[in-house]
A = this chain, B = another copy of it.
Amino acid sequence: MTKIEAHVLFSKYLSNHISLDEKHLQAICEFYELKQYSKKDIFFKQGSIACKEGFVLSGLWKIFHRDIKGAEHVLYFAFSNWWIGDMASFSNQTEAFFSAEALEKTWVLEIDKHKKDKLLQDFPAMERLFRIIIEKHLVVLQKRFLLTISTQASERYLELIQRAPGIEQLVPQHQIASYLGILPESLSRMKKNMMKGIKN
């Protein structure tokens, strides 16, 4: 992917949220650095300080937390047009609660803390953009949380494969289980039971 292509994608995304003229778009893009990552690369790591945040152009990331017992819990999968970051860590330069790991080859536009501060300073309109983006993230998580406490895993599974078709081909099943908040064994059994229901 070329820098030009990346900027086109990013500009398109930005324009969906706030109106900016071509010149501003270009200037904003310049704050971001285009980078490619390979499968298993880490973008930020739980326990360290997240010094950058990124916008996914292509590929796929998982954002997860590892608990005391060593179990992984997937907060979300970041497809293209989503952000990868640990906000608390990035904003306050504190220890990250989450890690981000690439699940396949992926292109990212990234920015470090220092440049982001500069970006917000130079383009106050970006404050508005990020407010809107974070609002969107929060709304999505609120609904996901509600779904999680109000339904059982099978419903959440159906919701997921409907909302993100093809995810089963991209993400190993044990990570989907983690996203759903259950164990791999449980997901395996659940799928078998659902099959039984369909056949009859």
A-side residues, CB < 8 A to B, are 65, 67, 71, 73, 75, 87-88, 91, 97-98, 120, 124, 127-128, 130-132, 134-135, 137-139, 141-146, 148-150, 181
Q: How far is the CA of A170 from the CA of B130 in the complex (A)?
A: 36
Given known pairs A131-B130, A149-B148, A181-B149, the reply for A142 and B75 (CB within 8 Å) is yes
A143 CB contacts on chain B under 8 angstroms: 97
Q: How far is the CA of A53 from the CA of B87 in the complex (A)?
A: 24
Given known pairs A124-B124, A130-B131, A131-B127, the reply for A87 and B146 (CB within 8 Å) is no
Q: How far is the CA of A142 from the CA of B97 in the complex (A)?
A: 10
A150 CB contacts on chain B under 8 angstroms: 65, 67, 71, 73, 181
Given known pairs A97-B143, A124-B124, A149-B148, the reply for A91 and B135 (CB within 8 Å) is yes
Q: How far is the CA of A88 from the CA of B148 in the complex (A)?
A: 19
Are the C-beta atoms of B73 and A146 separated by less than 8 Å? yes
A130 to chain B, nearest CB (A): 5
Q: How far is the CA of A16 from the CA of B124 in the complex (A)?
A: 20
Are the C-beta atoms of B87 and A139 separated by less than 8 Å? yes
A138 to chain B, nearest CB (A): 5
Closest B residue to A130 using CB positions: B131
Given known pairs A67-B150, A135-B134, the reply for A145 and B87 (CB within 8 Å) is no
Some 24 contacts from A to B, beta carbons below 8 A apart, are A65-B146, A73-B146, A73-B149, A73-B150, A75-B142, A75-B146, A87-B135, A87-B139, A88-B135, A91-B132, A91-B135, A97-B142, A97-B143, A124-B127, A124-B128, A127-B131, A130-B131, A131-B134, A134-B134, A137-B138, A138-B138, A141-B141, A145-B148, A148-B148
A142 CB contacts on chain B under 8 angstroms: 75, 97-98, 141
Q: How far is the CA of A137 from the CA of B141 in the complex (A)?
A: 11
From B127, B131, B144, contact of A145 by CB (8 A): B144
